[in-house]
Amino acid sequence: MTHLIATFFYVGHMRPAPGTWGSLAALPAAWMIYALFGPWGLIAGIVLSYVLGVWATGIETKGKDNHDPSEIVIDEVCGQWIALLPLAFGAMRQDADILALWPGWIAAFALFRLFDITKWGPVGWADRMAGPTGVMLDDVIAGVFAALGVTALAALYHIILV
């Protein structure tokens, strides 16, 4: 069960770039959660993925030298869902189809991957933490930065083009 969670239903075994595959797999999962439960369901998914991610990662890496193996992608899923929060609440607020906000989906994905891969600032600090909390926390921070970027880009779009 922990391997299923940590690899997000084995998506983490896809090559190359399992983290990117995990982030991509998070997109339709987020859409499904949003369609069923709205933005608050996405928040619940984020909390659940974080808690289960810390637990599963701890078990999957116990006694191993590598505390963040590439097949563990539940952290990318959690961070990607955070990056999508502005879209979820924006769609709800405007009573819009969340898929109609497709440029935001692209921005959320691209910004999250940018912050997750480059490990700038606090993302890198969290990545250097030992244990499952560090595995999850760097992607949470990358997701927050990406969400802020998505919000800024949406504001620019509405100020300039609308």
Residues 31 and 135: their CA atoms lie apart, in Å, by 24
Q: Which string of DSSP letters, residue by residue, matches 70-127?
A: TT--HHHHHHHHHHHHHHHHHHHHHT--GGGGHHHHHHHHHHHHHHHHH--THHHHHH
Return the sign of the alpha-carbon dihedral for residues 156, 154, 102, 80. Answer: positive
Q: How is residue 129 annotated by DSSP?
A: S
Residue 128 predicted with pLDDT over 80: yes
7-12 contacts, C-beta under 8 A, 24 or more apart: 7/71, 7/72, 7/73, 7/74, 8/73, 8/74, 8/76, 8/77, 11/73, 12/70, 12/71, 12/72, 12/73
* Mean pLDDT computed over 81-89: 98
**pLDDT at position 68, please?**
83
**pLDDT at position 40, please?**
98
Confidence of residue 102 (pLDDT cuts 50, 70, 90): very high
Residue 137 predicted with pLDDT over 80: yes
Q: What is the pTM of this model?
A: 0.96
Which has the higher per-residue pLDDT, 69 or 97?
Answer: 97
Residues 154 and 137: their CA atoms lie apart, in Å, by 25
First to last CA, the chain: 48
Of 49, 75, 45, 59, the closest CA to residue 3 belongs to 59
